[in-house]
Amino acid sequence: MVTGGDRNRYLLPVSQAAVDDLVRVLDLEPIEVNIFRGMSPDEDRQRIFGGQVAGQALVAAARTVPDDREVHSLHGYFLRAGDPRVPVLYEVDRLRDGGSFTTRRVVAIQHGRVIFNMAASFQVPEEGFDHAFPMPDLPPPEDLPTLRERLQRAGVPLTPWLSRDRPIDIRHVDPGGPGSTPEELRRPRDPHHHVWLRADGRLPDDPIVHTVVLTYASDMTLLDTSLIPHGGSWSDPSVFMASLDHAMWFHRPFRADDWLLYAQDSPDASGGRGLSRGLVFTRNGTLVATVIQEGLIRKLR
């Protein structure tokens, strides 16, 4: 499985250069018809971050779809740990090209084995019925500390790794998360988790870039939500966390370099697995995406 519970995945607010680097990592090199190659950032990781593989797989699918169609859903399964030292090969199967919908299947391969597969569906935009849940009434991102400020308040030394430029700015609304005290992290709470997030720089105007960046970022905090009722956290060395699957539905246009509220909850945890879901809203309260993920939350034996 490609690890979604990577304890090094929290990202500090940064410069435009880091955002540009993220866009380059999520981009792919065409190798042959329906075959693409993706690279990993030069970081000290044991496994590829799951959001990176999901984002790259979506890019591969989108490269084979007519320009008049937009992605409206994706469903992916993490099958094996990804090796960040070698490229990932993405093979696209053109399952269907209909009058309104286009469907693609993407398989990610390393060392001759499948590490991830995804089905993605694209649609010609059309008018239809329209309703959506309202956005929760929460403090705006400007009233919340950055991750750097949270760590400094907690007396956490800013190591070279923590001080590096990173592409996503995440602001935690609720207690817990990086920079919290051990007592705060161990305190059981209702399984709700809210963060504001955005790319910490300007992204290209291409809508698929914003969709791919949100796909990347949506894997950062979601699985943690299933540990909240149990007094567990991303930093607990006795817990193994890994994404098993990841599904997203995209409802309305958005920009990933504008603030987005990620309202997450966890309906269930059982059998060594935690189920989490998230609603993504723009600053003006528009619901733009829904995310559901199941992952391993297993006590280390």
pLDDT at position 6 = 43
pLDDT at residue number 137: 96
pLDDT, residue 1, reads 44
Q: What is the pLDDT of residue 5?
A: 42
Helix, strand, coil shares of the chain, percent, nearest 5, are: 20, 35, 45
Task: Give domain status of residue 34, yes or no.
Answer: yes
Q: Rounded CA gap, 230 and 298, in Å?
A: 12
The domain tally of the chain equals 1
Position 1 in a domain: no
Does residue 131 form part of some domain? Answer: no
Assigned domain for 6 exists: no
Cα dist. 191→6, 67, 169, 182, 197 in Å? 20, 40, 23, 18, 19
Specify if 4 maps to a domain.
no
pTM of the model: 0.90
Sheet of strand 113-123, all strands in order from the earlier edge strand to the far edge: 29-32, 35-38, 88-97, 101-110, 113-123, 70-78, 239-250, 287-299, 273-282, 260-270, 192-199, 168-172
User: Which pLDDT score is estimated for 238?
Assistant: 82
Residue 208 lies in a domain: yes
Active-site residue set: 219, 243, 293
Q: What domain range is 270 assigned to?
A: 16-126+138-299
Does residue 133 belong to any structural domain of this protein? no
pLDDT means per 10 residues in the chain (301 residues)? 42 69 96 97 84 97 96 97 95 97 98 97 96 96 86 71 79 75 70 95 96 97 92 76 96 98 97 97 98 93 72
| Domain at 167, CATH number | 2.40.160.210
> Residue 233: what pLDDT?
67
- Residue 58, in any domain of the structure: yes
Contact between residue 290 and residue 280 where contact means Cβ atoms under 8 Å apart? yes
